[in-house]
Amino acid sequence: MSDSDPSSAVDRFTPSPGSGVLPSSSAQVSELMLGVARGDRAAFTELYHATAPKLLGTILRILQHRGWAEDVLQEVYVSIWQKAEQFDPAKASPITWLVTIARNRAIDRIRSQPAGSRATDNELAQLASSEPDGPASLEAGQTADQLNHCLEQLEKDRRDMVRLAYLNGWSRRELSAHFEQPVNTIKTWLYRALKQLKGCLTS
């Protein structure tokens, strides 16, 4: 990119979910992306206003916290400004590429939060009861710190999957699309992750 301070390109914008309108075709978004890759601030401005509402919605669904989501959205567009040259319209649709960046940034924010702010005892109970094929229950009285400690013992993909499924309400189909795995594989992974969590929490 030609701009040595990409963050300045987004700092002046304020996210406004619902106010943007996506261009009518993937090709138009791709053209904007190519403009951003050339350092075109006008293209970046148009891309931001056209896609920010969708990306903010994606981030909000994961974080469930408006303030965090707006902060992450700014980080996402700084990343887009810096990485636009990596976008290849022959390999992925522009919206898929943008949403992937947004989701990854939101998941990174979840992992970066202090243990006590990431999970609660109520969420622990929900995690156990929301999986019909998993363990019937987990021991009561576990603290959020214990849950987060045990979550950290899972493989990264399994940990992210559990958080997205049980703390953020993602469906099996959404998880399947995000992790690029069949729905039945997602179910198996969740079952095994819950079994591992139960073993950790009750040890």
Q: Where are the alpha helices (DSSP H) in 119-155?
A: 121-129, 144-152
**Which tokens sit at 139?**
């021991």
pLDDT band of residue 200 (cuts 50, 70, 90) is confident
Render pLDDT for 31-84 as a digit per residue (tens, 0 to 9): 999 999 999 999 999 999 889 988 988 888 877 777 888 889 999 999 999 999
* Spatial contact of 109 and 63, defined as CB atoms under 8 Å apart: yes
Residues 6+ away with beta carbon under 8 Å from 112: none
For 45-101, the DSSP string reads HHHHHHHHHHHHHHHHHHH--HHHHHHHHHHHHHHHHHHGGG--TTTS-HHHHHHHH
* Spatial contact of 194 and 128, defined as CB atoms under 8 Å apart: yes
Same fold, 8-112 and 118-201: no
Q: How far is CA 156 from the centre of its chain?
A: 14
Render pLDDT for 6-46 as a digit per residue (tens, 0 to 9): 545 555 444 444 444 454 477 888 899 999 999 999 999 99
Q: Which CATH number fits domain 8-112: 1.10.10.10, 3.40.50.11540, 1.10.1740.10, 3.30.1360.70?
A: 1.10.1740.10
Q: How far is CA 137 from CA 98, 114, 119, in A?
A: 38, 25, 17
118-201 belongs to CATH 1.10.10.10: yes
Where do the structural domains in the chain lie, given as residue ranges? 8-112, 118-201
CA neighbours within 13 Å on the CB side: how many for 27? 0
